Structure 1
């Protein structure tokens, strides 16, 4: 309980202490960072507003100011991160009623984001250009992500014992804390815990690579800190050498999903393979590809019917 707070305290101070009491140590560092960013925006936008002055109008004005520089989804996240603290303030009698009730979420029009991914020909050229040595390197990492569609942190956490070569599966059950101090962390969500089917080429290559490695240690993590930019730089050099589109490691994940969708794999199967929480996420992310496939389906339907 925030017993030392009272109705005359500044809301930004109340919120900072609420994060310290209720969130620090209870949520992942990446999530905590989002709350701390929200705290900075509160300090910037309403530095002098007291807890008792946070009426529905004052709260709506706060959201409106935040929405001027952010998209609607980001504003909605900002609202959710504030609401928990405000409801606790109501429970503790610091506010007479919930000022977040019936809040209107506004925001800037989202920019059209075109997903960068390789086509099948480009991916073939990339894989052929990889320098697969006898010991793990970032080229091995690129190959694994391209073939599995794993997230960067998931692939970093893979150990030799995660492979089941007999059944041709790879277990994804953890991530690597590359943004923090290293070590294993839980997956992004429950759906991210999964078994991915791997092809015979990955089975052959990785069974040899991992033969003499510690079974429970990450294959691609050494003593030094890992940066996403380091691996992206390696991938960029390969893309330039091949004369193909330059993409990031996350772009390889998009490439994996896109090729499966174009090959006719169902959205449900792609969602499970990627570890998405729901098919809705997959549909939203790959909407443009799905629309292209629907256009092809229309052509196929017309050709089929005209042949009757």
Structure 2
């Protein structure tokens, strides 16, 4: 070991030291790549020379084993922000993904905030997951938190802050199924008669744009964010198609601070064929909107949005919350299940396509899905009902 040990501030004669000064070590820890000079580590405060020697040996052993001494004392709350910056710089994620990572960090913070990253153990991390599970968070939320945790501690290991990743064998406890469990829960969607009643209610009680909003959602199965971001240039009137090239993001529900970002997945970028009915309603809306723009004149900041505000902040795209509020109002007026949401129309589109004989692959292409469990559930539920009806018809035929 290259280095030396001494009492800092000691003025005693050599070999006859009687002061109570503390011992310090100075050891070589490599070469500075910037100037070629040797790097040294100094630390004091030891009662005896022997203690200083042991501490120096421990320090060198950690370096040899690949542990980052500089970051060894960093706390979880500080390290997570370093990791989040690295995550953003490396992946350029969508704003929603960043929000999800920050949400997961916030959920882990009560357990590890002031703990050194190197001191988090597999047992303490597993206990945190178990406690989060007891808070009745959804399965997807728990998976998101766990995924973020694994990414954070993988990064800590790559930075040589720790040798073992405490998340490696951690898991989210599964709920025990009982004998009365009757299968998978199917997402909410309109039955055919409910959808017809909802459409009738729209015709009688609609507000501005209600008819077009819910017709497009029902006839295309597109996501609400995709709908709100639509511009007139996305509509091909001649070929009866709608192009999905972007989606709407607005974390704070502030009309003027929205963002247009890429669709959810690479398969979400798609072109949807639509019925003449949809095109005709778009034509009608275009005429009305042009009159609105004429009334506002130069104060209308026209960026080509189909679903644009006409009162406060005219020309800006409408908020997602507006569509939810409009739908809740219509469901109540029509006496239809008020637990249904705008996203239920996406599931409804799946169910009606399944009844019409479309394959699961065809439906997923139309919806812009890579692998959607909820779509599969709706599809299987509907096709099983169709098969059961076919079987009943066969039985009745034999009986007659």
1:57 aligns with 2:149: no
| Superposed displacement of residue 156, structure 1 | 0.5
Give unmatched runs, 5+ long, in structure 1. Answer: none
Tell me which of 279, 290, 293 is aligned to 2:386.
Answer: 293
| Superposed displacement of residue 225, structure 1 | 7.1
Matched residue, 1:147:
219
Matched residue, 1:74:
141
Matched residue, 1:277:
370
Q: Please give the alpha-carbon distance, in whole angstroms, between the structure 2 residues aligned to 1:164 and 1:4.
A: 61
Matched residue, 1:203:
279
Change (3 A) 1:178 1:58: closer
Q: Please give the alpha-carbon distance, in whole angstroms, between the structure 2 residues aligned to 1:105 and 1:19.
A: 23
Change (3 A) 1:73 1:301: farther
Matched residue, 1:84:
151
1:189 aligns with 2:261: no
Change (3 A) 1:268 1:146: same
Tell me which of 79, 84, 93 is aligned to 1:14.
Answer: 79
Q: Please give the alpha-carbon distance, in whole angstroms, between the structure 1 residues aligned to 2:303 and 2:70.
A: 47
| Superposed displacement of residue 161, structure 1 | 1.6
**Mapping for residues 83-162 of structure 1, pairs under 5 Å:** 83-108=150-175, 114-131=186-203, 137-162=209-234
Q: Greater share of strand residues, 1 or 2?
A: 2
Q: Please give the alpha-carbon distance, in whole angstroms, between the structure 2 residues aligned to 1:84 and 1:99.
A: 11
Q: Please give the alpha-carbon distance, in whole angstroms, between the structure 2 residues aligned to 1:26 and 1:130.
A: 41
| Superposed displacement of residue 183, structure 1 | 3.2
1:256 aligns with 2:349: yes
- Greater shift, 268-277 or 231-240, is seen at 231-240
Q: Please give the alpha-carbon distance, in whole angstroms, between the structure 1 residues aligned to 2:119 and 2:190.
A: 53
SS at match of 2:71: coil
| Superposed displacement of residue 144, structure 1 | 1.3
| Superposed displacement of residue 303, structure 1 | 7.2
Rg comparison, structure with higher value: 2
- Return the TM-score normalized by structure 2: 0.66
Q: Is 1:68–1:108's contact at 8 Å kept on the other side of the alignment?
A: no
SS at match of 2:154: helix
Deviation sequence 1:57-94 (CA, Å, 0-9, x none):
33323322222223444322212112122111111110
- Greater shift, 101-110 or 237-246, is seen at 101-110
- Return the TM-score normalized by structure 1: 0.84
Tell me which of 189, 213, 228 is aligned to 2:320.
Answer: 228
Matched residue, 1:26:
92
Deviation sequence 1:236-291 (CA, Å, 0-9, x none):
33233333333221122222222221222221111111111126552135443343
Q: Please give the alpha-carbon distance, in whole angstroms, between the structure 2 residues aligned to 1:114 and 1:34.
A: 25
Q: Is 2:226–2:244's contact at 8 Å kept on the other side of the alignment?
A: yes
- Greater shift, 291-300 or 82-91, is seen at 291-300
Q: Is 1:153–1:178's contact at 8 Å kept on the other side of the alignment?
A: no
Change (3 A) 1:240 1:271: same
SS at match of 1:150: coil
What is the aligned-residue RMSD (CA, Å)?
A: 3.3
| Superposed displacement of residue 148, structure 1 | 1.1
Q: Is 1:12–1:42's contact at 8 Å kept on the other side of the alignment?
A: no
Of structures 1 and 2, the one with the larger relative CO (CA 8 A, separation 6+) is 1
Q: Is 2:79–2:117's contact at 8 Å kept on the other side of the alignment?
A: yes
